[in-house]
Structure 1
Amino acid sequence: MTFTDKLTRAVQSSGSVLCAGLDPDPDRIPKPLRDQIPDEGRLIFEFCRRVIEAVKPHVCAFKPNLAFFEALGAPGWNALEQVIDSIPSNRVVIADAKRGDIGNTAGKYREAFFDRLGADAITLNPLMGMDTIQPFTHYPDKAVFVLTLTSNEGAADFFKQRIEGGSSLSQYIAGELSRYQVQSAAHLGMVLGATQTTNLQPLLKAHPNAHLLIPGVGTQGGSIPDLEKVLENHKGVPIINSSRSILYAGRDNEDWIRYVTDQAVQLKESLHTISSRYAKKAS
């Protein structure tokens, strides 16, 4: 099964393009669970496991953010492996690693995230050059989501800068990804911030078949109606991520998981117009 096959089936079976980001910060995990499980490695696993179980009917993908696991050292990595094992096989797993290196180093990242962890996709930083992506391109069941225009204000420092010929660096990256896709077995997608909708059209035009990982909805304030408009004719499938607004919706309430579930349902419903468009394409 190709990555595109798995993604489109996940969208169809969930009726959703929503992705739940897994950013388990021990200090923000609901107090009732912290009180039960003092060990941080076990705590972040159990927190993520319960979130996965609660929201899996409402999402097409899960995106573990590697920093939150790596910060705990070996217990965090062990928790990450357990978390990924807990994700249903009919949902897409995106390792949010944002790595970017060349040669043997990139190959080792590929071994870690594709071979060892079994992630379906990874996020990569392309600023060292397109050869940083090459080791990840040989696998038709995998995808790479390349940082193309991120949701943070600092995107203006580099991604929005004009280069030779007048296009932005983001537009150049999008065009290169489209060109590289011809010879890549893996799908080459783009990370595009939901807070950047006024700047997305040239990027979608440059890489019209790209699947998209779209952070910035929820806590960062990205507009879903604006996304509906800009994605209206895009051929690739958007995966619209929300992390903190889902994970910590319950704060320190005893029944925190109910709030998590409710927030995922609300976001799924708010994305209905976009999701239904791509669920139909999947069928």
Structure 2
Amino acid sequence: MNFFAKLAEAVQRNNSLLCVGLDPQLELLPPGESLEQSLVAWGKALIEQTSDLVCCYKPNIAFYEQAGPQGLHALQQTLAAIPEGIPILLDAKRGDIGSTADAYARAAYQQYHADAITISPYLGQDSIKPFLKDTDKAVFILCQTSNPSAREIQQHGEPPLFEFIAQTAKAWGSVDQIGFVIGATQPDALQSIRAICPEHWFLAPGVGAQGGDLAQALQAGLRADGIGMIIPVSRGVIYADNPRQAALNFRDAINAVRAGFIPSAALSDRERLIISLFEHGCVRFGNFTLASGKQSPIYIDIRRVISFPDLFKQAVAAYLKLLHTLQFDLVAGVPYAALPLSTVAAWKMTVPLIYPRKEAKAHGTGQMIEGAYMPGQCAVLMEDIITSGGSILTAAETLRSAGLHVDDVVVLVERKQGGAAALAEHGIKLHPVLNIYEVLDTLKAHGLIEADIYTNVIAYLQG
């Protein structure tokens, strides 16, 4: 029986997604005749108290390696005490070239009889293959981990590295052999990887001592069938005064969330962006005066985006998808709302940034365009919102008067109130990420606005 089939049976039999991590702190072990005996007694006691409450056990090999040969012998004896129907997930985070990976795989599967193992993807597919030769075995590939500094590496690039890993590594084996490690402290990452890998199992550490929000993690990462996540807890169980009661409490807390879990269709990037804009107060309903002087029952305030890093990242990623389809030499941000977004987009694309001023400087050079450029270069404009197109046309005229070509503008939201036609008359093509009708339709479909608000805004836009 392969790991995931064994896991599914344990989940059903024990009604549990809880995994107890076996991470012994040597200084906290009970006294014994030898270190090996203390480790074995400690591990067996935990297993006896929790084996009917868990879906698997996750021994971390480092906590046994620190004790030398006695620790490794103790690990073998401890794992032998785990009931046959409970799978063993060895937390070793291995990753090396082929021959070394072969040796690691033999150690994990032949010496410790693990059913699955955690793996680093840094060396690529050939470092993973040895762990998948036995089709009954599985790997959990490090993707977005729960430690505080993980973002420095794992969220680098566009798309972020952790998403690239999931997209790439899911093709390294079948869904019956590949899982991913995604921290419960990272609900956004759980949600985005669930959209990429709707059927895969996730190992989601970080609940308990690391402060992960259990409800948020489960809502973001559960499969549509209400499973698909392993929730490992170590310190919160193994050093509790009553480990069995602690495990029972964690299992029941997980199941309470599962009971109220309502599977939702995987959101597209566009839907996710729209909902995030609304949830962060960037889309509001009421009575507003726009920069054009027009009255509006809806106001879209992209200036707020810069105060919410995850939303900021989503918005920049959306711009980049359009920018990568265009040809240009320079990115030109329209002041002022689009400047932070255009700065990050230009930096990510390693393209020079300029911006046209709204007024000439009264000191220094007195120039109307900030940044370095040469006449004849092509600049793509970036703006946040377009209504009538007036601010974009003003910026384009400033750039064109300096000898620059302006053929395209990318905006986050088009209000569908004549801006595109106005730009076209001046030879500028509009490329919107979203339009206001799509925003309204998405908010209504997800129950975020009432029908009367939707009807009122649609009537205003079409009036």
Q: TM-score range by the shorter chain?
A: 0.7 to 0.9
Asked if 1:116 corresponds to 2:108, the answer is no
**Partner AA of 2:163 in structure 1:** Q
Give CA deviations for 1:198-237 in whole Å, capped at 9, x if unaligned. 2222212222221111111111111111023213445662
Determine which of 193, 202, 208 is the counterpart of 1:203: 193
How do 1:1-283 and structure 2 match up within 5 A? 1-29=1-29, 33-34=30-31, 37-162=32-157, 166-182=158-174, 187-234=177-224, 237-250=228-241, 259-273=242-256
**Cα distance in 2 between the residues matched to 1:177 and 1:275:** 28
**Cα distance in 1 between the residues matched to 2:145 and 2:224:** 19
Check conservation: 2:222, 2:228, Cα contact below 8 A.
no
**Cα distance in 1 between the residues matched to 2:40 and 2:127:** 31
Greater relative CO, 1 or 2 (CA 8 Å, sep 6+): 1
Give CA deviations for 1:39-65 in whole Å, capped at 9, x if unaligned. 211111110100000011110100010
Compute the displacement of 1:139 (Å).
Answer: 2.0
**Partner AA of 2:80 in structure 1:** D
**Partner AA of 1:261 in structure 2:** R
Alignment length, in residue pairs?
A: 260
Give unmatched runs, 5+ long, in structure 2.
262-463
Compute the displacement of 1:38 (Å).
Answer: 4.5
**Cα distance in 1 between the residues matched to 2:219 and 2:107:** 38
RMSD: 1.8
Check conservation: 1:11, 1:275, Cα contact below 8 A.
no
* Aligned-partner SS, 1:21: strand
Indicate the larger mover: 166-175 or 197-206: 197-206
TM-score if structure 1 supplies the norm length? Answer: 0.87
- Flag the structure with higher helix content: 1
Runs of 4+ in 1 over 6 A off after TM superposition: none
Residues 146 and 232 of structure 1: CA distance in aligned 2, closer, same or farther (over 3 Å):
closer
- Flag the structure with higher strand content: 2
Check conservation: 2:184, 2:213, Cα contact below 8 A.
yes
TM-score if structure 2 supplies the norm length? Answer: 0.54
What percent of counterpart residues are identical? 35
**Cα distance in 2 between the residues matched to 1:228 and 1:200:** 9
**Cα distance in 1 between the residues matched to 2:137 and 2:260:** 23
**Cα distance in 1 between the residues matched to 2:221 and 2:60:** 25
**Cα distance in 2 between the residues matched to 1:92 and 1:67:** 19
**Cα distance in 1 between the residues matched to 2:4 and 2:224:** 15
